[in-house]
Structure 1
Amino acid sequence: MRIKILFVLSLILLGCSNKKEEQPKEFSYPIIELVSQPNSSIAGNPITLSFKTDGTIKDLKLQVKNAYGNVILETEKASNELITFNIPKNFTRIAGPCRWKLLLNGHTLRNGKFDITTNTLKATYVESYFGPRSVTAGYNDYSMLTISPTDAYDNPLDNGTEVTVKYQFLENINELKITTESFFAFYNVRSTLQSGRILVSSECNGTNSKELATIIYPSNATNFDITASSAHNFADGNQIITFKSDIIKDEFGNMVTNGTLVTFVIKNENDSYLYTIGTTVNGIAEAKTLHPDKATNWKIQAFVTGAAESNTTEFTFNAAIKDYPVHFSKGNRNIDIGPFESFMKQLIPDGLFLQLDIYDTDGIFITSKKTTTKNGACNIFLGEHFLPEGNYQLKLIAAGITKEFTKNIHGDTIK
């Protein structure tokens, strides 16, 4: 049995070894000759590729690829010997290399490349940008003018294309020539020592750009002087005192920009500070504040934050109120203060601040009451609910004048 099995297997192997292997069919390429292909073409001009064959060939296609994209073209014209392909307009308008392949059933028969150059004859367009649109006076700041000239189909012009730059400031007009590199040209327009406006424009192949501008603002302010003035120097808490600077300028003599913030800081003899602010108009800053309500001496200095400071000027206020009467009634619970008379014996304006501090007989502070004058006087009432009966030390403070009393507060005010 074993011998029979071996005999059958031998016959099977012998039959297999005598079978011939099938050879794959080789693809037969037709003979195709390129008849017309431009080495280079101007953007926008029509482009045609023609091929000559030794017979009629169906299903030929042309693959075209450039910066615009990729497309497969069918034959536009075919005869027994000549096959023609027309490149689409969208592809002929893009400057740069354009590659093609002639295909038959997925096989590449021929391939090649041609260049499309920019079309400077038809038209030139100039894109220009300028910025920043504001700089400061001096030697270090500048604005950059960037020019990108293109042809009618938005192709950047070739490197080395000449561009004329013009810029004007005051009475001076300057002109210079630069060339494009990597599709654009640029020029740095330096700021000047004077504030003002610089106008720029550019021109390429007879085409002018639009007008652009940058504003030269003054540089940082330098130190300046201030003065203080008022209708009188009495501390009436009513009159207005005015602080005014001279014309504030930068280091190049330019008047600082309108709206520059100036802070006026006031210091009194108690080292207390208050401030008021003003903004410049035509280089001059002005600020106002009320007179104090008591005699004092002010020292005033102004600052342009982070840039400049002024001199220190002084203004002395004399006391407008020399004294005021105080009258107690109703068990010393009712206190009438005034009338307050100013430097011409006139009643003071409403709103003078008055404070009453109350202490016990040991000088320990208890409470205080505050009020303001009306019609030249004011009143304070210490009701039963506010202050019990007893002996107290009372301290009145108004217009910088302090008056002290020791009083026995008594009487029931609630009936």
Structure 2
Amino acid sequence: MADETLLERHRAVLPAWMALYYDEPIEIVRGSGRHVTDADGRTYLDFFAGILTNAVGYDIAEISDAIRRQVDTGILHTSTLYLIREQVRLAERIAELSGIPDAKVFFTTSGTEANEAALLFTTQARRSHQVLALRNSYHGRAFATMAITGNRGWSASSLSPINVSYVHGGYRYRSPFRELDDAAYIRACTEDLRDVIETATAGDVACMIVEPVQGVGGFAMPPDGLFGAFKAVLDEYGIPLISDEVQTGWGRTGEHFWGIQAHGVVPDVMTFAKGLGNGLSIGGVVARGDLIDSVSANSISTFGGNPLSAAGARATLEYVLDHDLQANAAKQGGQLLAALHEAAERHAIVGDVRGKGLMLGIELVEPGTTRPSPRAATAVLEAAKAAGLLVGKGGLHGNVIRLAPPMTLTDGETEEGLRMLLTAIEHADGELNR
């Protein structure tokens, strides 16, 4: 039972547009491994990880110890006016892992701020406010990042400091090119990109920003190789490519450390956040040094890369690498994906199953159609909670179940989560087919 007093207080002082999951919202008060416990003492297997943020799980000794060591110094914050050893060490590691030549790193406190910074660097370097983005995309809730968000459900304002042109490609299930095979789909979307540059822009475009897997958009993704084809066109015009790795970074897709690597290309800029801090607030940009250094005025991020967040983030990153969590994401995600494809054959409400590694989406539809079914997604969400499993929800129509467990997920937890999830889908399928 939800704490009605806390719920009433929440609704009284927090924005009406800050949605809460479930008919009876829960307060999560403790966590261990891949499990969380609510204020009523009920424990859940977490398959959403704080919207992919608790990437390594809960109460991980190596990360907690790194945070405690920094707390014990008494220094939680200094300023970028002073040297911050942990910030430098973390930046060196990320620059090395990025594969971007002569890379530099700028730290922020969130993915939104990271994408805002990437827009600043590229628009300043190119002296242009024209930006190319994908339909169904999401890049943040600040003024410029809302402007490049191609998802009406998350774009709260039509006002914009950016001149945006949208391109096909990221969301294949409802694309006009959906019937094409991979090669033809890539050709069609690449031709669309070139046409948009030639007809809808003045040519001097500042950048193109893409999500390798569209997170808020319902874990939608194009065929591998699309963004490599895009990059070839962008290079003809000197347009930098930004890969928004806020949700796809740190090995979550299983097959690669960065989501964009599936497309055989190194971008000019990558943005990151979420999983790097395993719950601590940190984000940033890693990019060609000339792009980051194009800013001629003073600029800082007061809390970006502070000693506490940098120490926790570096411990998280080393834990991911030392324990090869990328390989585990590939293994556990492969098992989940195979079982979900089988379930799709049995249940009329499952329109599409997609994703990579531990980043999987289940698009739900009205039985016997391709019409989005938000009610089916809500039914699965509630039934999964009742069974003891937390999952996410997203997509333009709110009809996609999103699965993104911590990357430390075990074989047993994969099987346990699957049982609960498949039971929830069966329950929802029965409800909609009455």
TM-score by length of 2: 0.18
When Rg is computed on C-alpha atoms for both structures, the one with the higher figure is 1
More helix by share: 2
More strand by share: 1
Higher RCO, 1 vs 2 (CA within 8 Å, ≥6 residues apart):
2
